Structure 1
Amino acid sequence: MADAWILHPDYRTPAVPAGTGPAPGPWRHPDGGQVMNGTYERALPGGQVEVVTVWYGYALSRWHGPFMPRFTSPMVSAWNLVLAQGLTAGPGAPSPYHDELWCDRWIAEALLYGRKPYGTFRLPAAEALDWFAGCGGTNLVYRARVEGDLVRVVAGTSERYVHLFDLDALIADYREALPRDLAEPAVAVLDAHRLHSPALHYVLPENGEERFARAPLPIRGLTLGYPPRETAARIVTASAEPASVRQAAAQ
């Protein structure tokens, strides 16, 4: 039997509508019926944890993964996964995204303020120039190109992974959470990335984005600031897929 939902405060949680707006969604606290808003977790049997991100009563994501108690990072959040991809509760459901560039602006700001280590976004030229100016004094490195009326940017921090994250804690969590045949490849790629940085490995090279698209799941998830528990669940799912499906997904 699952435990009750526990709120885990996260400043990334989008603000709820003020004044007139859509009706709140169906997710409510069992005690009192208040509208849920934020990241909620609950323990499941078998050492699993279920995570749901709720905005104004609407569940924008819901997944479960293994319990990984050691690793934490201010650059990792369940909201990074949601807000970078513009996830919603379903077609036509209310969401916090005000326009088609909302997620791009969110990624740009998250990078600028150290809320995620790597990302791509598109902005109007004037906004992109302001963003470039704001990078002064940060560890961000970027590449940019004009695409029609927008500027597309790929950016990442020059900080090395070993300084960005507690890799030893993450490695210990993977070894405990996954079967050995899945854990050891994850451990190997994390070890190999200790002295790399998102900027040096995935931004500066001409083929950096292609290289990132081919990177193993533990690296892609961590570099995007996604929760390792969610990544671990993906690793398990991918291991059960036929080899032809895995190869197609990696291309």
Structure 2
Amino acid sequence: MADAWILHPDYRTPPAPTDADFPPGPWRHPDGGQIMNGTYERPLPKLRTEVVTVWYGYALSRWRGPRMPRFSSPMVSAWNPVLAQGLAAAPGTPTPYRDELWCDRWIAEALLYGRKPYGAFTLPADEALRWCGKSGGTSLIYHARTEDDELVRVVAGTSERYAQLFDLDALIADYREALPEELAEPEVRALEEHRSCSPALRYVLCEDAEALFARAPLSVRGLTLGYPPRETATRIAAHVTSGAAT
């Protein structure tokens, strides 16, 4: 089914390496053999979809999830979890992450340019201070603390309400269709409870914000980070299954 992959253009796709000696990976288009680069999807039986993110022919993530056709958002992308966490589909895969702070810098920039509504990053103090200055003209609210003499931890989120940021009705309808009722309804209630608040109010300005966010329901955490709900739905089902197994 290699010819079934469909490219979904996304400006988050990291640029190809400029080094002419850098070898491309094995993922190629079936027609012509061009190097694959971007987010690709293909339909699967039983209303499921397979998604792969590819950088210069190397797969950085690959997962399957239910089709959730109603919901979409410019703040949600299959690249968001990949680039925020420095993922690779297999050990030893070449990646665009040039140093240990690459992902933190990516998160900081993604927040400034509205590519995700919430995130946390750690940067050298001078870089963090420059970021704080740039955020002044945005809807972002942040909390910063020093980690040591040279690093600053920043937690930031938009002050716009969830109901303004996302089509929650569409997302809720998709979750109800994608998951069994006993799994969908707790997530639906959590999403409903977040309609009138913002990521900043709920997970930046409160005490122990990062710990509180870590305890939020998966549907809320995924949406707040700009992660694909189809992948989140798969994690919800897997989490319950693994819990039942133990």
Aligned amino acid, residue 172 of structure 2: I
Distance 2:127 2:62 in 1: 33
Contact 1:118 1:155 in 2 (8 A): yes
| Percent of paired sites with the same residue | 73
Structure 2 regions of 5+ residues with no counterpart? none
Structure 2 partner of 1:179: 180
1: CA distance, partners of 2:207 / 2:189: 25
Deviation at 1:65, TM superposition (A): 0.5
Distance 1:184 1:89, change over 3 A: closer
Greater shift, 152-161 or 84-93, is seen at 84-93
Displacement of 1:86: 0.2
1:53 aligns with 2:53: yes
Give per-residue Cα distances to partners, 1:109-156, cap 9 Å, x unaligned.
000111001111011111111100001121111111111221111111
Residue in structure 2 matched with residue 150 of structure 1 by the alignment: 151
Matched, 1:242 2:243: yes
Q: Distance in 2 between matches of 1:244 and 1:141?
A: 41
Equivalent residue number for residue 114 of structure 1: 114
Q: How does 1:1-80 map to 2 (within 5 A)?
A: 4-80=4-80
Per the alignment, residue 217 of structure 2 pairs with: 216
The residue that corresponds to 1:229 in the other structure is 230
User: Is 1:191 aligned with 2:192?
Assistant: yes
Matched letter for residue 83 of structure 1: L
1: CA distance, partners of 2:182 / 2:217: 15
Q: Please report how far the alpha carbon of residue 21 of structure 1 lies from its aligned counterpart in structure 2 after TM superposition.
A: 4.2
Q: 1:21 to 1:139 in 2, by over 3 A?
A: farther
Distance 2:143 2:54 in 1: 34
| Other structure's SS at 2:143 match | strand
Gaps of 5+ in 1: 246-251
Q: TM-score, normalised by structure 2?
A: 0.96
Give the deviation of 1:181 after TM superposition. 1.1
TM-score by structure 1 length?
0.94
Q: Contact 1:3–1:44 at 8 Å: present in 2 too? A: no
Encode CA deviations 1:76-119: one digit per residue, 9 max, x unaligned: 00000100000124333211011111100000000011100111
Measure the CA separation in 1 of the matches of 2:51 and 2:119.
Answer: 23
CA contact (8 A) 1:65 1:229 kept: yes
Q: Deviations over 1:164-217 (max 9, x none)?
A: 100000011111111111111111111111011111011111111111000000
Instruction: Assess if the C-alpha contact under 8 Å between 1:2 and 1:45 holds in 2.
Output: no
Give the aligned CA root-mean-square deviation in angstroms: 1.4
Aligned counterparts of 1:102 and 1:201: Cα–Cα separation in 2: 27
1:239 Cα deviation from its structure 2 partner: 1.5
Deviation at 1:40, TM superposition (A): 0.1
Runs of 4+ in 1 over 2 A off after TM superposition: 19-22, 89-93, 242-245
Q: Could you tell me how far apart the structure 2 residues matched to 1:3 and 1:191 are?
A: 40
Is 1:145–1:151's contact at 8 Å kept on the other side of the alignment? yes
Instruction: Report the Cα distance in structure 2 between the residues aligned to 1:187 and 1:2, rounded to whole angstroms.
Output: 36
Number of residues of Structure 1 aligned to a counterpart in Structure 2: 245
